[in-house]
Chains A and B, each alone.
Chain A
Amino acid sequence: MNAVALGFDRTLLELKMYSREKEAVFFSFLFPIMMLALFSVIFGDSMGGDSQMSAAEYFLPGMISAGILLTSFQTMAMSVAAERDDGTLKRLRSTPMPPVSYFLGKVGLVVTTALAQQVLLLAVAKFAFGVDLPDTAARWLTFAWVFGLGAFAGTVLGTAYSSLASARTVGAVVVAPMLILQFISGVYFSFTDIPEWLKQVASVFPLKWIAQGMRSVFFPDDLASMEMAGAWEHGRTAMVLGVWAVLGLVLCVLTFRWFKRGTT
């Protein structure tokens, strides 16, 4: 088989392993959907001040953004760290499989799970909580590129980040920073409530920009005035996510190791 066919083969294997790991399914795949349901049940129809949004409408962009980061960054950081530690990567390296097939398998996993999660999240928002989804092509186009750039950046950054963790420490090393980032990036509550200096910190990382991009897709345009710059800033969003994607790719190439530290 050639490298691409082997990559497809790896994707199927990755999906089998992912779907059989209940923790992964729960904490990265279903988590944003459950959070959306939880917020909707707790806060009901009275969110967003004057604009009279329901909680489901209000939190949908944040949950979509959190979902993108969980299925790309968290999945990659945790699985690559574990596979490096338990010798899976070494075993793969001992076969004639081209290295690129391994990464194609991971990309296939992320693309499949992230897309499935978004479809499920949107379906639950629409049919269970009555959220009106956008009806213009322009908004869905924005959704597509924010999703694509965000998931790509998350995948390469997660792979690079995996070098910092071992199987033993991966929970703390990956999950804690993710949680902090989600809070300061305005995923779980209004970004306007966050102090200015913390907003500046959040603005360095991709999640704030993914969330802002997703708000521009799902929120009425008059809410753009609530953003830091008073506008949706699509150009800057694309630029920041693009820079992170390229930086992540370079870090991946420079830091990726097939063997555990101290064993080569």
Chain B
Amino acid sequence: MTAISIRGLVKAYGAKRAVDGLDLDIETGEVFALLGPNGAGKTTTVEILEGFRTADAGEVSVLGSDPHTANRLWRNRIGIVLQTSSGLDLLTPREILASTAHTYANPRSVEEVIAAVGLQEKADVRIAGLSGGQRRRLDVGLGIVGRPELLFLDEPTTGFDPQARRDFWGLIRTLASEGTTILLTTHYLDEAEHLADRVGVIAGGRLLALDTPANLGGRASEEATVAWLEDGERRTLRTATPTLEVSRLADRFGGEVPELVVSRPSLEDTYLTLIAPHVTQDDEGAPAATTTRKVPA
């Protein structure tokens, strides 16, 4: 079953093609992470899928409907966690969750959602008094209170401390294990690695790579690096057979190899290599996506 199907999607703003012929299928029950530099077309793509923007060309189907013409019944089946939510300061989490739940046909209980996002102690406190991480968890609560089949998460853990991120990942895995299809955009590669069944990298409005986090960009088959300390010097060796090399080293040292490290390219290394041709240094020195259409095959 396909939850989301994208064929030849194009969206231009003036002369710039933010999305430039994107093809992608996301299966029901899958956790899919969309990665890409700022300006890559992630947000535009996701907002078209959410029905907030219209496509210039191409075909998009989300839960069997065109999002732009979809009705209330379709909205009832999806949940959206937006990038920011202010304007709720005067209410309490329980009040806004209850009010949002009422708009859905078969919502989760408000108590259940409050517990799931860990806001029991803040449920009846004005939202103005919540920390950034607590607000973000409330956003997620608002996204899941309608018991969605498909959940959109736009950079969900930006501004979280490490413990809050771990807790949040646990929540997402629980939702996924219950069969929720999740489309996630994130800047954190470790987040994608922890959560996603598959990862898609886009830049310049096109899909550059699509695979499991472990295999993205041929990661699994890349040579490993073995490093150790010998005669007071750091030695490194690139090899396709790291186990064999470590075993040889162990024989040579007669047991423990000092400061042994075996590493493969991290997802971040692979990702940065993939997007490198699409990122330039602009005048301020900050990385920005290029608008070039020269995408390598």
Contact = CB atoms under 8 A, between A and B. Distances in A.
B103 interface: yes
Interface stretch (B23-31, B87-95, B111-119, B181-189): B87-95
Given A13-B95, A21-B90, A88-B87, A95 B52 contact: no
Interface in A76-118: 82-83, 86-88, 90-91, 93-98, 101
A90 B126 CA distance: 21
Contacts of B91: 13, 16-17
A13 B99 contact: yes
Contacts of B85: 87-88, 91
Nearest to A12: B99
Contacts of A97: 103
A6 interface: yes
Given A95-B146, A264-B53, A9 B99 contact: yes
Contacts of B142: 91
B82 interface: yes
A10 interface: yes
Given A94-B75, A95-B75, A86 B50 contact: no
B237 to A, nearest CB: 52
A1 B90 contact: no
A87 B90 contact: no
B107 to A, nearest CB: 10
A259 interface: yes
A17 to B, nearest CB: 5
Q: Which 4 A-B pairs have the closest CB atoms?
A: A86-B87, A88-B87, A96-B75, A97-B103
A17 B95 CA distance: 11
A91 to B, nearest CB: 6
10 contacts: A5-B102, A9-B99, A13-B91, A95-B75, A95-B146, A96-B72, A96-B73, A96-B103, A264-B52, A264-B53
A20 interface: yes
B104 interface: yes
A259 B83 CA distance: 14
Majority SS of interface residues in chain B? Answer: loop
Nearest to A17: B90
Given A96-B146, A98-B72, A1 B84 contact: no
B94 to A, nearest CB: 12
Contacts of B272: none
Interface of B: 50, 52-53, 72-73, 75-76, 80, 82, 84-88, 90-91, 95-96, 99-100, 102-105, 126, 142, 146
A91 B145 CA distance: 13
Given A13-B95, A16-B95, A264-B52, A95 B100 contact: yes
B188 to A, nearest CB: 23
Majority SS of interface residues in chain A? Answer: helix
A9 B146 contact: no
A163 B105 CA distance: 32
Given A16-B90, A95-B75, A95-B104, A87 B82 contact: yes
Nearest to B152: A94
B76 A9 contact: no
Contacts of A5: 102
B16 to A, nearest CB: 14
A4 to B, nearest CB: 12
B53 A94 contact: no
Nearest to A19: B90
Contact of B76 (A16, A20, A96, A259): A96
Contacts of A9: 99, 102
A259 B146 contact: no
A82 B87 contact: yes
A9 B101 CA distance: 11
B156 to A, nearest CB: 15
B87 A87 contact: yes
A86 B52 contact: no
Interface core residue of A1, A17, A94, A97 (most chain B CB under 10 Å): A94
Given A16-B90, A101-B103, 20 more contacts: A1-B103, A6-B102, A6-B103, A9-B99, A13-B91, A13-B99, A16-B95, A17-B91, A20-B90, A87-B85, A88-B85, A91-B142, A94-B50, A94-B52, A95-B75, A95-B100, A95-B104, A96-B104, A259-B52, A264-B52
A88 B88 contact: yes
A15 B94 CA distance: 16
Nearest to A264: B53
Nearest to B81: A94
A87 B103 CA distance: 18
B102 to A, nearest CB: 5
Nearest to A94: B80
A27 to B, nearest CB: 16
B93 to A, nearest CB: 13
A9 B99 CA distance: 7
